Structure 1
Amino acid sequence: MFSFTNVLAESDTETIPQRSDIDAKYRWRLEDIYATEQLWEEDFSKLERLLPKMTEFKGRLSESGKTLLECLQMQDSIWNITNRLYVYAGMRQDEDTRVSTYQELYNRARSLATKAEQAVSFIDPEILSIPQPKVDEFMKSEKGLKIYQHYVDNIIRKKSHTLSPSEEEILAMAGDLARAPLNVWTMINDADIKYPSVKDEQGNEVQLTKERYYKFLESPDRRLRKEASEAYSSAYLTYLNSLGATLSGTIAKDLFFAKARKYNSTLEAALDHYNIPISVFENLIAAVNNNLESLHKYVSLRKRVLKLDELRKYDLSVPLVPEAKMEIPYDSALTIIEKALAPLGRQYLSDMMAGFTSGWVDVYETEGKGSGAYSWGCYSCHPYMLLNYNNTLRNMFTVAHEMGHCMHRYYTNKKQPYINSGHATFTAEVASITNETLLMDYLLKNTKDQAQKLYLLNHYIDEIEGTFYTQLMFTEFEKTIHQKVQNGEALSSASMRQIYRDTFQKFYGPELMLDSLDDLGCLRIYHFYRRFYVYQYATSFAAAVTISKKILEGNREALDRYLRFLESGDSDYPINLLKDAGVDMTSPQPINKTIELFASLVDDMEKLLQ
């Protein structure tokens, strides 16, 4: 059994705390990467000295397997150090985005990363210039090259999209320029933008923040939801033209790189990066467009239960059972998560709980801190997790989600060599959503309170809506604006807002009334700056539902396959890794099962509410 406190988070009625006000046990320990910033500087200098040495391998990779191996090992060293510098500087900046010193560290790391890209840019085209029989002989005779087999195979697979060494170097030199739209958006979104105050449920003036905005959207007080929504959106209206320019700029950047590499579209370029068949993407979009009825039904149910003449966008997050609203302090959330993830085995639990107490997590919102939540890390240190925890059920699921990423990184780094230590988003989100699915199953099974059970069911429906349907709505919007740029059409903030509004309305149906500022959502979503990223939340959700169902059924083989999957990194293509884990994403079955699950949950909730 579990219980929830009904005490409101203190931060709702106080100013945002300073970082120094937070107990050290709730702050991450970046000193585990670099004990001092002097050590960061030493690594920076070391990398500066290492980069010119890569030129010693130019034009020599066809000499022998030994030469090729030494070159690839040096490339690993370069990227390992680069990533360590970049991750540390990025997380220091996220501690307080207002601190110029951290911004300078981050900018220096980013600039050096661009130089690293230039330094190694000759490797892929030079490997492709070696006759295939000779490459095969190198891989066979030089045992150290065995760990690079998938890396080399992938280079050969993308031969038609790899340019000459000099052209590859030019593209690498454009790295800083290419990141400019996202950098501008990030500074506006995290540092420059100021949200007005609103009156909370008790009538207290409270400074609006991103985290408080999302929490207020769950308030039973419709006046507060409306004011929070209008205040939050109005802050972005101030930067309307700038944000429109950054989004259209990032699409132009994506199109430039796609054309430079001889792809037919930005979509083809994005999917080919991890060898995802376009049919997987197209089937996903088609499946959801053909099955919007249950989402429309849920919108109608929400309107009916809330007894509203008109349902607005700010009414989509409020629990339909407000009397069961759950306030969950962080430490209580950890206890619940530990019990919920027990099906993953003792070793997983032991490693996970050690992470919660070993400086992995930065828990609470503080002045100037980066928004949202993420997991990040580097190969030579444990993973890290940024949170802005605010005692909500949604926050608890975020902890479980991000810890899924952390454990994926932790097990991969223990098992894989550096070259295979990455994660494609297509697989990474499976690890996080599996945790969420197990947590929901535990909560539903372990509450006897009918109101709480209904609340949890409501939350589960909202999670599928947000992770599956909403992400696919985003995906369709993204596909449309990319297609327009490819067709030579100009994008403006006004045209993007209209496309977003039309797409949102189609997905959520005629019973949802959109307000004039609701379409500003298209200008404040980070993931649009990562080409065709969000559809993978939907595929990952479908895969996670399949995997977690097998684990919960006590299928030991399924658990073993999943734990091996967590260790696999990117040692193979994502589709193959998921097949090994027991899910075939080239089949429509996982997607259809998710759509069926959502429909059945909506039906169950409708019956319980009658």
Structure 2
Amino acid sequence: MSDQRVKTRAEIAASDKWAIEKIYPDTKAWRADFEQLKAEAEKLPQFSGKLNKADQLLAFFKLDEKVSRTAGKLAEYANRRADEDTANAEFIALRAEINAYLSELAAKEAYFEPEILSYPERTVEQELKEQPALGLYRFALEQILKKKPHTLDSRSETLLAAVSDCLEGPSNAYDFLTDADMTFPEIHNEDGQLVELTESTYHRFITSKDRQVRKEAFQALFNTYGKYQNTFASLLTSSVKNFVFMAKQHHYTSALQCSLAPNNIPTEVYHTALKTINAHLNSLHRYVSLKKKLLKLSDMHMYDLYVPVIDVPERHYEFDEAVQTVKEGLAPLGKEYLDLFSKGIESGWVDRYPNKGKCSGAYSSGCYDVQPYVLLNFNYDLNSVSTLAHEMGHSLHTYYSTKNQPYIYSDYSLFCAETASTTNEALLIHHLIDKETDQNRKLYLINSQLEQIRTTVFRQLLFAEFELFTHEKAEAGVQLTAKELRAFWHDVNVKYYGPEMTVDSENDMEWARIPHFYRDFYVYQYATGYAAANSFSRMILSGGEDAVEKYKGFLKSGSSDYPINVLRKAGVDMATAKPMEDVIHTFDELLDMLERAL
């Protein structure tokens, strides 16, 4: 059984820690590599002005890889050690030292892309013909050259770079306002006592079984945001106008095109996702109706959305049991995948349990020359089991990619980053639902999956629709005020949640609570990533070995092609409506299961 006392790092068994010594045995070895890195990096600037010569371009690529791989190892060690115990001054200093140097390193390489882009047409193509070994870098060079129509002269780019920090002003001000300056009123808890409401405690109150508690928390939170509505409107519209300005300066037809261009994602992918979800909003309306019925409510409000509809005792999982459960869920991926999963668990990929000072949450990390590392804070519950599946999905994606791609293409894009992890989660929840014999627990699992699709697909695309609205208005020269933002947010929520949902006026300020809106056109990737993962899981469960091999081909691809092409080769075409239709079909199947069980 678990020990309720949080242990110190020294008290955690070695077998429960990640094998960080595989990177460096100690700080002395780390520092020796660091000194060697700094010496090698000093050679990078010598290629400036010479990259139009094939042999010099090849030499740059080789030196840059050597330097970058060493820097990656150094950063991986320092960051993982610092996260083990955030009170350990030695490793906090180590992390600060390498992170500061990485900025210096970036400055030493900064001339590379501008110089490549400054050359006349066909210069690079001629170099590729002269030096066959440069063929490895053809795709990387192609990605750089695609930026040429959107790259200004040196003076203009320097000027825009100089004001970039100023353009971050709205985002920085938003962070200060929401993280430091705003306070919320006290509310009554389930016992009638006055308690503090904060952003961090809000989730506990909004999921309360006591409807008055969640209503009071909801109203207190959003009424507070409402007091600053004009400030929030000014910050958001300023941020949007800044991005629109940069997109126009770089000759993009729209801010959306500018955002999607680095990954060569057609704007149709974004529009198709919105069009498809809008064509199937009746599925979300049906879910709202079912939830209203399960909660036995005469009217359904926005503050009722997050309350659990099924009560089940929390099941306890020991770590080894969690591993076995995940492996059972991932069995359709075949022996090779399961053997690699076991290898990761047994050879020190995973730092398992909380300890004093340990970084909170969970993540997977890794670089080309070391094994993946997974940070967990295992809590013996179902969420911990799911988190293990998720993070090991990331790690095995990293493993396959680094083992099958040269260094320059070994990382994978943000567009694909959540696909492997979410595929693992989808396979796990399918297995758990399928094998569960307790009726209440089965309903709990079904509803958990429904909620994940609601929040990750429907909700994120609602966000994406709002984001497109704000940018298109800015591009048309329309000045949006808090009134227009509130009105659009209200109407889009009415559309998404349907006739049985009362969209409370307080909810009209919810847009002000979404920090992702300061990262232009970011949120849609949660929905597309989930849709891709859902399509993969359905193919794997129904398609057998051929589907598994295609999926492993995706895991092995890294960034050797544009993300849309990587997914398409594996059988998931994000330029079509099918992946989003697949996830809605899964949602409908879960709704059918829930209805049959009632």
TM-score range normalised by the length of the shorter chain: 0.7 to 0.9
| Structural mapping, 1:14-29, within 5 Å | 28=18
Aligned counterpart, 2:268: 279
Deviations 1:222-269 (A, max 9, x none): 566567767887998999999888766754554454344322333111
Tell me if the contact between 2:284 and 2:496 (Cα under 8 Å) persists in the aligned partners: yes
User: 1:107/1:289 Cα in 2 relative to 1: closer, same or farther (>3 Å)?
Assistant: farther
Which amino acid in structure 1 is aligned with residue 257 of structure 2?
E
- Asked if 1:144 corresponds to 2:133, the answer is yes
Residue 534 of structure 2 aligns with which residue?
545
Which has the larger displacement, 375-384 or 354-363? 354-363
Mapped partners of 1:365, 1:199: distance in 2 = 32
Matched, 1:557 2:546: yes
Structure 2 partner of 1:59: 49
In structure 2, relative to structure 1, the CA distance for the partners of 1:133 and 1:143 (3 Å cut) is same
Q: Deviations over 1:23-49 (max 9, x none)?
A: 665555555555555666666665555
Could you tell me which residue of structure 2 aligns to residue 465 of structure 1? 454
Q: 1:497 to 1:25 in 2, by over 3 A?
A: farther
Q: Relative to structure 1, is the Cα distance of residues 224 and 30 closer, same or farther in structure 2, using a 3 angstrom cutoff?
A: farther
Give, in whole Å, the separation in 2 of the partners of 1:175 and 1:115: 19
Deviation at 1:157, TM superposition (A): 2.6
Return the offset for 1:538. 1.9
The answer to whether the 8 Å contact 1:565/1:577 transfers is: yes
Q: How many angstroms does 1:155 deviate by?
A: 2.0
CA deviations on 1:405-433 (whole Å, 9 max, x unpaired) are 11111211122122102211222222122
Letter in structure 2 aligned against 1:270: S
- Return closer, same or farther for 1:337/1:111 CA change in 2, 3 Å cut-off: same
Listed as ranges, the gaps of 5+ residues in structure 1 are 1-6
Counterpart CA distance in 2 for 1:306 and 1:388 is: 32
User: 1:258·1:266 contact (CA, 8 Å) conserved in 2?
Assistant: yes
Show the counterpart of 1:413. 402
Q: Residues 28-107 of structure 1 correspond to what in structure 2 (within 5 A)?
A: 28=18, 32-33=22-23, 35-36=25-26, 49-63=39-53, 65-84=54-73
Q: Whole-Å Cα distance in 2 between the matches of residues 232 and 511 of structure 1?
A: 23
| Cα distance change on mapping 1:198 and 1:283 into 2, 3 Å | same
1:455 aligned counterpart, secondary structure:
helix
Within 5 Å, which residues of 2 pair with 1:392-541?
392-487=381-476, 500-513=489-502, 518=507, 522-523=511-512, 525=514, 527-541=516-530
The Cα RMSD (Å) is 4.4
The superposition leaves residues 77-136 of structure 1 with CA deviations (integer Å, 9 ceiling, x where unpaired) of: 444455555555655665677889877766665554444444333323433444555533
Q: Check 1:249–1:299 CA distance in 2 against 1; reply closer, same or farther (3 A cut).
A: same
Instruction: Render the CA deviation track for 1:267-296: whole Å, top value 9, x for unaligned.
Output: 111111111111111111111122211101
Is 2:555 the partner of 1:596? no
Out of 295, 299, 308, the residue aligned to residue 288 of structure 2 is: 299
Q: Partner of 1:379: helix, strand, or coil? A: coil
CA distance in 1 between counterparts of 2:234 and 2:74 reads 30
Contact 1:275–1:573 (Cα < 8 Å) also in 2: yes
Is 1:585 the counterpart of 2:574? The answer is yes
Q: Distance in 2 between matches of 1:17 and 1:496?
A: 48
Structure 2 residue 243 is matched with structure 1 residue 270: no
Distance in 2 between residues matched to 1:20 and 1:188, nearest whole Å: 39
Of 367, 370, 383 in structure 2, the residue corresponding to residue 378 of structure 1 is: 367
Q: 2:149 aligns with which of 136, 147, 160?
A: 160
Instruction: Give the superposition deviation at 1:366.
Output: 6.6
Measured in 2, the distance between the counterparts of 1:407 and 1:423 equals: 12
Deviations 1:321-344 (A, max 9, x none): 214654545543322111111111
Aligned sequence identity (%): 39
- Please give the secondary structure, in 1, of the residue aligned with 2:526: helix
Q: Which secondary structure state, in structure 2, belongs to the residue aligned with residue 273 of structure 1?
A: helix
Give the 3 Å change call, closer, same or farther, for CA 524–59 of structure 1 in structure 2: same
| Change in CA separation of 1:493 and 1:529 when aligned onto 2, cut-off 3 Å | same
Moved more, 195-204 or 411-420: 195-204
The match for 1:573 is 562
Question: For 2:482 and 2:181, how far apart are their aligned partners in 1?
Answer: 19
Instruction: Report if aligned partners of 1:33, 1:88 keep a CA contact under 8 Å in 2.
Output: yes
Q: Is the 8 A contact 1:243 1:523 kept in 2?
A: yes
Give per-residue Cα distances to partners, 1:140-166, cap 9 Å, x unaligned: 443432221211122223321134456
Measured in 2, the distance between the counterparts of 1:25 and 1:234 equals 50
The 3-state SS of whatever aligns with 1:322 is coil
Q: Is the 8 A contact 2:52 2:127 kept in 1?
A: no
TM-score (norm. length: structure 2): 0.83
User: In 2 relative to 1, CA 608–22 (structure 1 residues): closer, same or farther, beyond 3 Å?
Assistant: same
Secondary structure of the 2:263 match is coil
Count of residues in Structure 1 that have an aligned counterpart in Structure 2: 598
Return 428-437 or 356-365, whichever deviates more.
356-365
Distance between the aligned counterparts of 1:490 and 1:17, measured in 2?
A: 55
Matches for 1:247-266 after TM superposition, within 5 Å: 251=240, 254-266=243-255
8 Å contact from structure 1 (residues 110, 176) kept in 2: no
Q: Distance in 1 between matches of 2:525 and 2:516?
A: 11
Q: CA deviation at 1:499?
A: 5.0
Letter in 1 for 2:64: Q
Cα distance in 2, alignment partners of residues 33 and 172 from structure 1? 36
Q: Which moved more, 1:157-166 or 1:439-448?
A: 157-166
State how far apart, in whole Å, the 1-side matches of 2:7 and 2:237 are.
Answer: 36
Q: Distance in 2 between matches of 1:238 and 1:389?
A: 40
Secondary structure in 2 matching 1:555: helix
Quick one: distance in 2 between partners of 1:232 and 1:101? 40
CA–CA distance in 2 between the matches of 1:213 and 1:29? 37
Instruction: Work out which of the residue numbers 304, 310, 317 in structure 2 matches 1:321.
Output: 310
Q: Which moved more, 1:574-583 or 1:98-107?
A: 98-107
C-alpha distance in structure 2 between counterparts of 1:353 and 1:200, whole Å? 45
**1 CA distance for matches of 2:245 and 2:73?**
29
Provide the rounded CA distance (Å) in 2 between the counterparts of 1:60 and 1:91: 38
Tell me, in whole angstroms, the C-alpha distance in 2 between the residues paired with 1:74 and 1:173: 29
Q: Deviations over 1:285-309 (max 9, x none)?
A: 1111222111012112111210123
Q: Give the corresponding residue for 1:4.
A: none
Measure how far apart 1:595 and its partner are.
Answer: 2.1
Q: How far apart, in 2, do the equivalents of 1:359 and 1:213 lie?
A: 36
Residue 385 of structure 1 aligns to a residue whose secondary structure is strand
Aligned to 2:341: 352
Aligned partners of 1:211 and 1:331: how far apart in 2?
31
> Could you tell me which amino acid in structure 2 is paired with residue 56 of structure 1?
Q
| 1:392-417 CA-partner distances (Å, limit 9, x unpaired) | 53443233222211111121112212
Q: Which moved more, 1:326-335 or 1:511-520?
A: 511-520
Q: Which moved more, 1:595-604 or 1:198-207?
A: 198-207
